[in-house]
Structure 1
Amino acid sequence: MHANEQLIQKFYTAFQNKDGQTMVGCYHPDIEFQDPAFGSLKGKEAGAMWLMLIERSQNLTIRFSNIKADDFKGSADWEADYSFSKTGRTVQNKIHANFTFKDGKILIHKDHFSMWKWLGMAMGPVGYLLGWWPALGNKVKKEALTGLQLYMKRKRM
């Protein structure tokens, strides 16, 4: 197994074990993270997001597969099952991740998933009906970023 495949496996195994510090340790100090829910996060924000999600998670289950990597790029598929805190609704999110590496760490991490499907699971009929509307996705992103900033302030990060 390539060293960067082992790095991806270490990252998701830590996520399964709710070990945010190990996850953050897999990231390069100049990490750039991107996904549909948070948008673009850099540096400490990216690591803090995982710490926050793990701390707030209830009944979170993570599965991962299809890890592939070479010296520069990698990818994996992963799934997260959990209850969305605002509605209590069950979410089963399927995500494809792409990675770029530098100095034995993850430099760029991009998660790809359907925001429309996620909104439908997390918010129910309203999410299914209005999930295609950019304003709803933007509202969710704004709330996620506000929550992250409050978390970082509270944790003095």
Structure 2
Amino acid sequence: MTATANAQTIERFYSAFARLDAAAMEACYAPDAVFDDEVFSLRGRREVAGMWRMLATATQAKGADVWRLTWRDVKADEATGSAHWDAHYRFSTTGRIVDNSVDARFTFTPEGLIATHRDSFSFPAWARQALGMPGLLLGWTPMLRNKIRATAGANLDKFLAANQP
């Protein structure tokens, strides 16, 4: 695919994300897509799309009134791409407002689908906002990061089991 087509995939993905349209987000990923961030490490479109469906569902249920996503600096060539995005949302577990600033890196299939997606953000900053005092005190520790990863993974497994596509 061309650089322009891959940039359009990124634009289509974030436009769908802003609308919390998980089905349109899923359509941007290759069947064997890989996603990694500070919380999730997912393999295959089923897991990756399931995470976005779970997050979109939670946001629609408990935070649509504050949800806002913006993105910028979309760049792509024939194989790779990047973007920066900022999300303003209510963390469904605690009800706390989070402003997360994320740098994304992508690779693409020859067909212009996302093959790999890596989001990077400050876990301590996220934890402080999402969890309050426990996040402030422990956000830098591997213990809290591992607990959040385990909880998120278990929540995704439950969501996938209950919501087979």
**Counterpart amino acid of 1:64?**
W
Q: Which moved more, 1:19-28 or 1:57-66?
A: 57-66
**Counterpart amino acid of 1:110?**
R
Q: How far is the alpha carbon of 1:148 from its aligned partner? A: 0.4
What are the ranges of 5 or more consecutive residues in structure 2 without an aligned counterpart? none
Q: How far is the alpha carbon of 1:61 from its aligned partner? A: 1.2
Is the partner of 2:39 in helix, strand or coil? coil
Q: How far is the alpha carbon of 1:156 from its aligned partner? A: 2.1
Q: After superposition, where does 1:119-138 map in structure 2 within 5 Å?
A: 119-138=127-146
- Work out the CA distance in 2 between the residues paired with 1:60 and 1:154: 25
Query: Is 1:152 the counterpart of 2:160 in the alignment?
Result: yes
Is the partner of 2:104 in helix, strand or coil? strand
Q: After superposition, where does 1:1-157 map in structure 2 within 5 Å?
A: 2-38=4-40, 40-43=41-44, 44-57=46-59, 58=63, 59-102=66-109, 103-157=111-165
Q: TM-score, normalising length from structure 1?
A: 0.96
1:84-141 CA distance string (max 9 Å, x none): 1121111000000000000210000000001111000001122111111101010001
Runs of 4+ in structure 1 over 3 Å off: none
Q: Over the residues paired in the alignment, what is the CA RMSD in angstroms?
A: 1.0
Larger strand fraction of residues: 1
Q: TM-score, normalising length from structure 2?
A: 0.92
Count, aligned residues: 156
Q: How far is the alpha carbon of 1:24 from its aligned partner? A: 0.2
What are the ranges of 5 or more consecutive residues in structure 1 without an aligned counterpart? none
